[in-house]
Structure 1
């Protein structure tokens, strides 16, 4: 890979952006505080249903498919406000100049101005539609009712919910028929299955399951066009995708950008999908992906509506992971957002689009739907000890992995076993798991507010007052990890499986980066569940087993003319007496050689495959690799 790609890690520079506080509790239209009333959102749906003649199941299902009933403060460069995700197409870039790239972003892509239309239909000011839950839900109901009336379909709160299919599809905001239909199908699946949750701002909303027959043929009344993708777009039906190519360009002087040509999945094999966030707005991100002097990844997803831009074909290698071995075996998805602001950018449309895309790609390339193969940039190891401290931490503590894997159809609760004792999977829940996180704006300790988080902290002893464990790769002097938003050193993340070290009362200790890390895990409210699987231990006679950040071949595998790539063990100690959960026993052993622009260069654009075997293990927040020759695999009890 060219020097440009070797030095840079990802499109997101992960500079911490200054967040606005978590959305303040909206105030109801009569002036009373809605924030102190958990039932206020439920009543708002009932009132709007009656006022505008929209079946309550339809109204609540549309809101759930857009926001899961959360009151969002505005996503992306085009808004997306409140439980009904009302989009302000005239907003412009709310975060221009943050993250990477200070040049003015181009005008946002055309979007339906549902906020403006709702204001016209209801007579309410746009400010109220942005901040008031009753006004926002009334606006969403008015839009659905207006579409139903325009199409000449039956109205009324008691009408058959299946007769509202076209209006629900129209609520997607898409001009493409298959995308609008996919949104409607999502909403109707919620009606069929039901849903219940407490929202981020403390509102309890429930939708009782009901039998409904969606009138899918109605979508033809909307006059939407059939999708015609330009370029080699590789996306599933129902996903709004476009081709925005990344340039493969000779920059002179032996340098080139912004990715490498390859022949995947033949060589190297595609085994992983990496979840990133951009640390820049969508428009700035597209400018970076199309800059030949920068980096490329495979897909970018927009926050406001889940729209997808594809930049690379899967056969080629993007420069996104900060680890060349992982780059060679992965597809990278960048999600518009800033890790320190969490739910303000990680919208439900983006989660759903991402999950639909990942399900499709996983099936296409035979990638298991688990967190050993679908993982965050923050889980990727450094390639040498010197690289560890500089590795990235996106998508960060506010990405909802538990919900994401539910959308993937592979819930993280699967393969649990109440009888298992050697392995546990961290599953603290999300909405109610509000861990202390600090320094979200890079300067003020208490700037993060109270947000749901995806991890539990690990302590050096079974006590809340005990220091957090140290990550020697981040702090070689042994200082405890911190609660800073970017410090992953003591975070056991949801969905990851760890080997149990010991238990004391309500506390469980796991092996984590060479030390025991304790977390509160009472039977009455467990933060982890027992799971089946295997773990590894150093082979008998070894004081410790080396751990690596990549699975490169043995020296004898390299043909003449290709330099042997040195394997540098990481600084973590996997000593006798410790054990680590196995993530993958079928790790490819190879090195993809690509250091020149021309694919015709001898001994270049060549996959060097070795006979040595590696296993992927759950070492800490980041995984690592161990040589099969150094460890024994033990079936967990």
Structure 2
């Protein structure tokens, strides 16, 4: 049986493509995963992401439909190799061979040399993106060559270990790009993104609707009017084109700042960062945050959260974090699943994306802010840090027709929490998410899960098991010394003040009533359905004061920012962050 490394080497030799180019293109498209023959968001298959033009879920996969040739690379690979469409979709070695044949075909069409030098293949690599604009093709090719220079080693979803050795001296011949004769993106200078990254300006529509309502964002003046604390990572649960269509409907009561496409990492911006998008289902987080939507589906997230998308997103987040002074940690770079509900009755409707398949450790590595241990065995708190590729927990719910079926084995950033130090013991409860029912192993249910980068206070250790404080209870996870899934991490921790039996927790830090001007109604400080009991401690992510942004009318002259003086601490209370009043807790360093 041919191994995947052997398949890459053989395909490269057969078609005269430098192996580093073939490996790097595949890595950007699929992270070398095979994905069990399942189609991507762009109807692409296998480690080389060969596309057939059909929308995932449709029955047709193999005949022309008038879409661009870039949507039919599967058919072209079949012509070039003589292989069947089915084998190209399902057999990894055949898929790799088809991808190599395409790259060689693109090189010939450009009149470029069949060179052994990776630098000479820039034009073919750019064409492989299937881009409709020169800037998008160039972004993809530039990332491919960055991978070639850096090198990478990864264990794939099939268990194969593949290595691309670093080649720091490779400098591509970008002049081949002009041979693609692609149009330019309009309005790229309007996009707030790193220098050298070309994004597309696709504005959300802001217009008056009946009864002086409006959609779908608020005009603001951040960070002058409000300090930015958060960048929130979402996934779309929809295809890219549909997602971008929704943002252009002013009556659609949701919005976000950026959308990233899966197969090539293409970036579109819709709302100025200074303005407040409606993306997190928490107005406080919206007013203090920037929302990034990533094309993908939670239950198949690990399948097509591509390297191209990770790399674009990581560079964008680093750019925004540097620009606005947002710390690069999991208290400030949140998943939508980490955002708290404002009030108890909203908790069960809060979102779960990007889900357990988002590779947080890799994402932070790409941002140049790796998640690492910074304590010792005596440190009171830990950071969750499993090996993503080897950590493959049991999940259900990936197949909507068979919700109780086990999901395909795949790397994950999450680990399960139990009531006792045994794997067969029940999962811990989340009384907000499941008031009467038990937590489940559904990929959509994070009631009993912790995720990479989150920090918790250690309550107890027994052999290979570690207990943390979580949602007011003791929660156990398997954490063997020989293969730990958590590492010591120093941080601040909050404990109820002496004499208090418990402390309320909140979904936002509200200003005290005296801070409100007469023309702004006082926002009630409503506790969530949890409490922080005496004797328990939770890690502190940030300290702030109460703030409220009133923007309930189209007339921006009536918008108000209300700031209080009472201090709050953001704590990692469960899977989501929450807030406690400073006067209710004592904060110490671990």
Q: TM-score normalised to the size of structure 1?
A: 0.85
Q: Which position in structure 2 is the counterpart of 1:83?
A: 47
Q: Which position in structure 1 is the counterpart of 2:314?
A: 355
Query: In structure 2, which of residues 120, 126, 137 is the aligned counterpart of residue 169 of structure 1?
Result: 126
Q: Give the 3-state SS of the residue equivalent to 1:120 in structure 2.
A: helix
Structure 1 residue 395: Cα displacement? 1.3
Q: Which position in structure 2 is the counterpart of 1:423?
A: 381
Q: Which position in structure 2 is the counterpart of 1:409?
A: 368
Structure 1 residue 232: Cα displacement? 3.5
Hey, which of these two has a bigger chunk of strand by percent? 2
Distance change (3 Å), C-alpha of 1:197 and 1:40: same
Structure 1 residue 271: Cα displacement? 1.7
In the alignment, structure 1 residue 528 sits paired with structure 2 residue 491:
no
1:29-78 CA-to-partner distances (Å, cap 9, x unmatched) read xxxxxxxx5x6111111111111112222221221222221114465553
Structure 1 residue 165: Cα displacement? 3.4
In structure 1, how many angstroms separate the alpha carbons of the residues matched to 2:589 and 2:535?
A: 16
Distance change (3 Å), C-alpha of 1:288 and 1:110: farther
Structure 1 residue 410: Cα displacement? 1.7
Structure 1 residue 388: Cα displacement? 1.7
Q: Which position in structure 2 is the counterpart of 1:451?
A: 410
Q: Give the 3-state SS of the residue equivalent to 1:388 in structure 2.
A: helix
Query: In structure 2, which of residues 9, 16, 25 is the aligned counterpart of residue 62 of structure 1?
Result: 25
546-555 or 109-118, which deviates more: 109-118
Q: Give the 3-state SS of the residue equivalent to 1:510 in structure 2.
A: strand
| CA contact 1:321–1:380 (8 Å) conserved in 2 | yes
In structure 1, how many angstroms separate the alpha carbons of the residues matched to 2:496 and 2:43?
A: 53
Distance change (3 Å), C-alpha of 1:515 and 1:326: same
| CA contact 1:616–1:625 (8 Å) conserved in 2 | yes
In the alignment, structure 1 residue 193 sits paired with structure 2 residue 150:
yes
Q: Which position in structure 2 is the counterpart of 1:591?
A: 548
1:240-292 CA-to-partner distances (Å, cap 9, x unmatched) read 53222222232223433222221112122222111111222222222322222
In structure 2, how many angstroms separate the alpha carbons of the residues matched to 1:420 and 1:148?
A: 58
Q: TM-score normalised to the size of structure 2?
A: 0.92
In the alignment, structure 1 residue 206 sits paired with structure 2 residue 160:
no
| CA contact 1:510–1:518 (8 Å) conserved in 2 | yes
Q: Give the 3-state SS of the residue equivalent to 2:429 in structure 1.
A: coil
User: What runs of 5+ residues in structure 1 fail to find an aligned partner?
Assistant: 1-36, 98-105
In structure 1, how many angstroms separate the alpha carbons of the residues matched to 2:344 and 2:399?
A: 28
Q: Give the 3-state SS of the residue equivalent to 2:114 in structure 1.
A: coil
In the alignment, structure 1 residue 605 sits paired with structure 2 residue 563:
no
1:5-33 CA-to-partner distances (Å, cap 9, x unmatched) read xxxxxxxxxxxxxxxxxxxxxxxxxxxxx
In structure 2, how many angstroms separate the alpha carbons of the residues matched to 1:178 and 1:571?
A: 49
| CA contact 2:511–2:545 (8 Å) conserved in 1 | no
Paired residue total: 581
| CA contact 1:177–1:224 (8 Å) conserved in 2 | yes
Distance change (3 Å), C-alpha of 1:179 and 1:254: closer
User: How do residues 475-624 of structure 1 correspond to structure 2 at under 5 angstroms?
Assistant: 475-477=434-436, 479-585=437-543, 587-600=544-557, 604-624=558-578
| CA contact 2:185–2:200 (8 Å) conserved in 1 | no
Q: Which position in structure 2 is the counterpart of 1:368?
A: 327
In the alignment, structure 1 residue 308 sits paired with structure 2 residue 270:
no
| CA contact 2:203–2:248 (8 Å) conserved in 1 | yes
In structure 2, how many angstroms separate the alpha carbons of the residues matched to 1:63 and 1:114?
A: 14
In structure 1, how many angstroms separate the alpha carbons of the residues matched to 2:191 and 2:92?
A: 39
In structure 2, how many angstroms separate the alpha carbons of the residues matched to 1:256 and 1:62?
A: 44
In structure 2, how many angstroms separate the alpha carbons of the residues matched to 1:219 and 1:372?
A: 44
In structure 1, how many angstroms separate the alpha carbons of the residues matched to 2:238 and 2:69?
A: 19
Structure 1 residue 239: Cα displacement? 3.9
User: What runs of 5+ residues in structure 2 fail to find an aligned partner?
Assistant: 60-64
| CA contact 1:179–1:238 (8 Å) conserved in 2 | no
In structure 2, how many angstroms separate the alpha carbons of the residues matched to 1:280 and 1:164?
A: 33
